Amino acid sequence: MNSVELDQVSRRYGRITALDGVSLSIPAGSFVAVMGATGSGKSTLLQCAAGLDRATSGHVRLAGHDITRMRERRLTRLRRDRVGFVFQSYNLLTELTVRQNVLLPVRLGAPRRRGVDDSLDAVGLGGLGGRKVGELSGGQRQRVALARALITAPTVVFADEPTGALDPTTGGQVLGLLRRACDHDGVTVVMVTHDPVAAAWSDRLVLLRAGRVVADDPTPQADAIAARLQNVFQAA
Ligand code: ADP
Ligand code: MG
């Protein structure tokens, strides 16, 4: 079973072609890293795959549903019930507590498939549920975001530069948690990153250039990823 399928997906913004005929199948329980230069279409790929943006042409399947022409209301529900998001900027409400933030999807009607305490324990924040998010460090905030993404036991977590604002050590903790969600809970992870060390946590590496997939292989070691990126950029 695939969690995500893109079939010849293109996304144009006026005269700019952000994605140019991308086909990609992401099996359930895999961890895919998407890399490429700034402007190569990474975020657009993530948004189209996650049903946050619409392909201009081609087809997208998400968590077993063809979302290509799905109505907005149904798509919103599918995202809410089956998809988790983690962004570089955390997207948390800093005036609310950790617990309140983790429960936001549930407040919006998503199924609570795990307990809050269980979700917080899973990201090493057990006991911090009552703290205001505004009082936490960046690494702690990103772990709150992860707990919020995991409380619904989603089919897929989409992460756009989840460690972009973190130092290597805290970034490594967040990546270890994504890896664990994949290995332990069978969550599919699709992660955009600039960082070869972050990408090295994945099983599979997709490289984009000018909106096209130029490589799609098992993930090598970080130094080999860096070398491969050099090649892709030089060929641009
Ligand atoms: P990346 O995440 O790899 O940096 P993006 O997917 O954000 O790349 O962008 C790919 C291309 O599409 C870029 O040329 C960008 O300027 C363009 N683009 C992205 N979003 C929009 C938008 N909402 N309106 C117009 N152009 C956009
Ligand atoms: Mg981007």
Q: Which ligand is nearest to the Cα of residue 11, counting in written order?
A: 1
pLDDT at 117: 93
Identify the DSSP state of 56.
S
Integer-rounded Cα radius of gyration of the chain: 17
- How many Å lie between the centroid of ligand 2 and the Cα of residue 193? 9
Q: Is the CB of 41 under 6 A from ligand 1?
A: yes
Q: Which atom of ligand 1 is nearest to the CA of 45?
A: 6
Considering only CA atoms, which of 15, 193, 219 is closest in space to residue 88? Answer: 193
pLDDT at 180: 96
- Closest C-alpha residue for ligand 1 atom 5: 41
Q: Is the pLDDT of residue 119 over 70?
A: yes
Which of 15-24, 30-39, 138-147, 225-234 shows the lowest per-residue confidence on average (mean pLDDT)? 225-234
Domain of 134, in residue numbers:
2-235
pLDDT at 232: 80
CA 2 to chain centroid, in Å, comes to 16
* Percent of all residues in the chain with a pLDDT value above 90, rounded to a whole number: 96
pLDDT band at 85 (very low <50, low <70, confident <90, very high): very high
Over the stretch 31-44, which tens digit does the pLDDT of each residue have?
Answer: 999 999 999 999 99
Range 138-144 average pLDDT? 96
- Give the span between the Cα atoms of 226 and 158, in whole angstroms: 22
pLDDT at 233: 75
Angle between helices 138-150 and 168-185 (to 10 degrees): 10
pLDDT at 68: 96
The best mutation among 15, 34, 44, 191 to test binding of ligand 1, ranked by most ligand atoms within 8 Å of the C-beta, falls on 44
- How many Å lie between the centroid of ligand 2 and the Cα of residue 118? 31
Considering only CA atoms, which of 45, 50, 106, 55 is closest in space to residue 78? Answer: 50
Tokens of 16: 């700019």
pLDDT at 236: 56
Range 112-117 average pLDDT? 92
The best mutation among 43, 54, 56 to test binding of ligand 1, ranked by most ligand atoms within 8 Å of the C-beta, falls on 43
Q: Is 75:167 a contact under the CB 8 Å cutoff?
A: no
pLDDT at 235: 64
Q: Which helix (H) or strand (E) holds 121?
A: helix 116-122
Q: Which atom of ligand 1 is nearest to the CA of 211?
A: 10
- Domain count along the chain: 1
pLDDT at 231: 84
Range 144-173 average pLDDT? 95
Q: Which ligand is nearest to the Cα of residue 16, counting in written order?
A: 1
Reported pTM = 0.95
pLDDT at 213: 97
Range 115-125 average pLDDT? 93
Q: Is the pLDDT of residue 143 over 80?
A: yes
- How many Å lie between the centroid of ligand 1 and the Cα of residue 44? 6
Q: Which atom of ligand 1 is nearest to the CA of 47?
A: 6
Q: Is 22 exposed, middle or buried (0-12, 13-18, 19+ CB in 10 A)?
A: buried
Q: Is the CB of 129 under 6 A from ligand 1?
A: no
Pairing of strands 57-62, 65-66: antiparallel
Q: Is 19 exposed, middle or buried (0-12, 13-18, 19+ CB in 10 A)?
A: buried
pLDDT band at 192 (very low <50, low <70, confident <90, very high): very high
Which of 77-81, 110-114, 143-147 shows the lowest per-residue confidence on average (mean pLDDT)? 110-114
Instruction: Tokens 């948690």: give the residue.
Output: 177
Range 54-66 average pLDDT? 97
Considering only CA atoms, which of 141, 161, 183, 178 is closest in space to residue 35? Answer: 161
* Percent of all residues in the chain with a pLDDT value above 70, rounded to a whole number: 99
CATH number at residue 180: 3.40.50.300
